[in-house]
Amino acid sequence: RNRLKRVVKTPKLQFIDAGLLANLMDIHAKDVQADRSRYGHVLESFVFGELLKYSTTADDNYQLLYYRDADKFEVDVVIENSAGKLVGVEIKAAATVKERDLRGLKKLASLAGDQFTAGVLLYDGDETLPLGNNLWAAPLSTLWGS
């Protein structure tokens, strides 16, 4: 548990204002359609900001953390509740899900054991997909309940 705590609490800088980040990176809506590669950072910041809003108004106490280990496995957001249970959230700008997109979530699940509740890969698709072992792919629109 101590090793997992140390790894999960790796610091990561997040912009809360995704619009400001897009402006600083000189990314415009027309650019996103032509080249999605730079859009991922903005999308990740946007989702982090939304999760942060939810966490501050929730009944339980939630911490938003980041997982990255020496082997470069990472999970964009790790949500920990007051009981120490974890949910991993991976954010992808792509409209499809690939097996390699789950690497970080699977690694976190194996390290966390019973603490790991679920892993969610938010992506730019339309379907919620069960991916086995408490892992799911869900559309980004899930954040708004649709």
Confidence class for position 6, pLDDT limits 50, 70, 90? low
Q: Are 78 and 86 in contact, with CB atoms under 8 Å apart?
A: yes
Q: Are 87 and 79 in contact, with CB atoms under 8 Å apart?
A: yes
pTM of the model: 0.85
**Which among 96, 113, 93 is positioned nearest to 32, based on CA atoms?**
93
**pLDDT, tens digit (0-9, with 9 covering 90-100), for 30-40:** 776 667 677 77
Q: What is the pLDDT of residue 85?
A: 95
Name the strand (E) or helix (H) holding 49.
Answer: helix 39-57
Q: What is the pLDDT of residue 130?
A: 96
**pLDDT, tens digit (0-9, with 9 covering 90-100), for 32-90:** 666 767 777 888 888 998 999 889 888 899 999 999 888 889 999 999 999 999 999 99
What domains does the chain contain, in order, with CATH numbers? 2-144 (3.40.1350)
Confidence class for position 98, pLDDT limits 50, 70, 90? very high
Q: What is the pLDDT of residue 9?
A: 60
